[in-house]
Each structure stands twice: as structure tokens, then as C-alpha cells.
Amino acid sequence: MHSRLSLPVSLVGSFFVAFASLAGCSKDTAPDSGPYAPRANDVAILFPHPEMGEDDLLIAMSEELLPAALFAQLGDSDVGLPRLAEGAGSTDVYPRLRVTSARLDPCFDNVTPCQRQVRLVAQILFPLTSDPEPPSLSDASIHLFYALDDEPFVNLLVALRALGSERGPLGVHPGLLREGLDSSYAQAMRAALVTACEAGTLTRFTFMATGRSKNWFFGIFDRASDGSFALSTIPGTSMTSDSFTDQGSPGFRFGTPFAVSWFPDSLLATDSTQALSPTEYSEGVDRLARLANPDLVSTSDVNCAACHVADTTRVQASLDRGASRPETSAFDFPASLPAPDVPPTGFGNLHAFSWAFEEPTVSARTAHEVELVVRALSSEGFRASLAPQLRALLE
């Protein structure tokens, strides 16, 4: 879902190799002393896809995380919002919501003063009944933003640090793959996140709802000063709703245009992509790359759908032009930081750090943001911002 811009595990296709290899990564024993220096998987946790019998081994949605009444506004005809997943019909999917990823951020959107934050993504776990069918995660998702004071934020860092630091590129959490969702390791991780996140500190609730025929709908609820939540205007627009339709198939695409300055609409359709001159195509790639670079584009400047569509557009446009990999751009990422290892995004996959059914997904934007978070949490500036007793916990 919309983040700063405001993946049992049964992996399929080329993603199996990319992510299953993480299972062999070993962890480092948590150091007893020395400055806190996390790795990507220490501060961005993508839970494995549950297998049969593991429905309750992911964090279930609760009133303590997200009030059911707030979630119920999705699909409420009086509010005029779509159901989270049209395919679920009128079924109440709130009890089937499971947290699939979590991200920590010491200074969300670089606002002053810094806002410590934990963000959770939750998806519907099918089947909706007790039928003995393999579990499957819905394409639809919600994104929950919790603001933390310094003490609970540092306590969460300490709790996760005690589990050990995980090597490997950002992806399905290697420690959870190694230990299993039913392990004491996973239980401790779930407990740390639930302890840190509570409805009283929820500041934003966003959603990516799904319709039929590859339709996606986005919206944002923000907390008002009186504690109530109301729909907010989508960044970069004057509307409280946002959407995208990706019709066709790989090699025959015709997605709906956005008509906004920051997105190259010509790359949404196969015919128009192939008709571009090399210069025009490179200019379009540059605009997509800018969307993935948090140093260049803020979440407060662009609409949700355009950001979520950027990766799949870049991959599919490159295939339309006969290339096997997306073209690189000068705007990909600051030269001072290593390029993140992100596998290609499949057609119709609009996820940023969650699951598109059985496809685990890390968007380029997410990988870039997490790299910056790792750098920030490892910095003297972050430690200096803490009270002495909190700083001592990380040294």
C-alpha cells in the first residue's frame, strides 16, 4: 500500500528461486554491545505465505490494531467506498485479515520533528470458510500506520534485535523461513509487533481494494484531532478516490491513463510503448524511476495508483520493446547507496511489500526506502536524538 510516496511458502515461477534461496541465509547472533546497525530484513519483515493449518500463525486483525467499525466503511453504500475484495461478496472479511508485512521507520517522510512509525500490511486469507483448502492471500490489502514515541519504538528495536540480525536481500524474511511460523522465534516477533502497535496510535488507514477484471481502487483515512477518521484527498489530486484498470495481457496491454505530469501514460499500453522513439522511451523510463526514488519524490506529491503501477509498467514496457530487463535510469537511486536487489514485477502486480496471491513482492520504491531506513537507524544522528537511557539500550 501507499507508503512514503504516498513479498507455507509455495512460491511460483521465477520468484521461487529468488526468494527461496533466502532460506539458506544464516542469522548473526545479536551483539551484546556496540551501536545498533540493522540489516534490511531486521526492519522490514515480510511474513512467509501460510501453509495448510497455519491460518492463525499470522497476526490476526483485532480491535486493538484496527477498529472493526472503521474497516466496515469499506463496502458501506452510505460512504460510497468499494468492498476490499469484490470477489468476497458481502462476507465480512475482517476476521480473515492477517498481517503479512511490517516496516519500521525512524523518521517517516522526513517530517520535523521526526515521527517514529511502524507500518503493517494486512490481507484477506482465503478460503473464507472452514473448508479444507490451501490458504491463499487476496490481492487486496490494507496499510496501517502507527506513530510511536521514542520509548516504544526503541523497545521494539531491542526486541527484534534480540532475535538476531538477518543477512540477505530484502524479501520473505529469512529467519521466519528458517524457523517456521510455528516457532518460538516467530511467536516472539509477532508479540513484539502487536505490543508496539495499538489502535490508539493509529494515524492512517489506507486500502488497495480489488474489483473484477483487473481493477484496483485506493483510498486514505486519516485521524483528525478529535480521534475520528475521515477520507483524505489523494496526494497530487483533488479527489478522495484513486483507481487503475490494467486491461489486456503481457504483450497486449492497454491500461487506463492517469493524465498526471509524473506518470508516462504512453508506457501503459503496448502499442504506444512500441511507437515511442528511443529518446521518448528513455524519458518515460526516467519518470518511472523518479517515482521509485524517495530522495526525489515525496509521498505527499503523487497519487497512490501511479506509484503502485510504476514497477509493473517499467517491466512490461521493457518486454514490449524486446528487452529482457528494465532499462536503467540516472534516477534509479543515489550513487552513494547500493542498488537494491529487486526481482521483476509480474503483470497486474501492484503490491509494494506484500503478497500478490502467492507472489511475494518488493517494489523498487520499498527497497530504496528500507535502505535509507537502515542507514538512518545506524547513524549517530539517530542515537543522538534519543534520551540517554534509550540510547544506552542500543549501544
pLDDT digit string (tens) for 244-271? 999 899 999 999 999 999 999 999 999 9
Where would I find the H helices in the chain? 15-20, 40-43, 68-71, 150-161, 174-179, 184-196, 270-275, 278-291, 304-320, 364-377, 380-384, 388-393
Q: What is the pLDDT of residue 348?
A: 92
Crossing angle, helix 304-320 and helix 278-291, to 10 degrees? 140
Q: What are the cell numbers at 248?
A: 489486456
How far is it, in rounded angstroms, from Cα 251 to Cα 334? 32
Q: What is the pTM of this model?
A: 0.90
- Other CB atoms closer than 10 Å to residue 269's CB: what's the count? 21
Give the CA distances from residue 181 to residues 8, 114, 282, 337, in Å, rounded to whole numbers and listed in that order.
8, 33, 44, 33
Q: What is the pLDDT of residue 185?
A: 98
Name the one residue in this structure whose C-alpha cell is 527484534: 160
Q: Using 50 as the pLDDT threshold, list the residues of the chain that sit under it.
A: 1-26, 29-32
Name the one residue in this structure whose C-alpha cell is 526486541: 159
Q: What is the pLDDT of residue 5?
A: 34
Residue pLDDT, tens place only, 118-138: 999 999 999 987 667 889 999
245-257 in b/e form (b: 16+ CB < 10 A) is ebebeeeebebbe
Q: Return the DSSP state at 23.
A: G
47-86 in b/e form (b: 16+ CB < 10 A) is bbbbbeebeebbbbbeeebbeeebbebbbeeeeebbbbbb
With beta carbons less than 8 A apart as the criterion, state whether 371 and 362 touch. Answer: no
Instruction: Name the 3-class secondary structure at 196.
Output: helix
Tell me how long the chain is.
395
CA 234 to chain centre: 18
Q: What is the CA radius of gyration of the chain?
A: 20
How far is it, in rounded angstroms, from Cα 365 to Cα 352? 8
Q: What is the pLDDT of residue 214?
A: 87
Q: What is the pLDDT of residue 105?
A: 97
Q: What are the cell numbers at 83?
A: 468492498
Give the CA distances from residue 174 to residues 7, 24, 165, 272, in Å, rounded to whole numbers and listed in that order.
12, 8, 10, 41
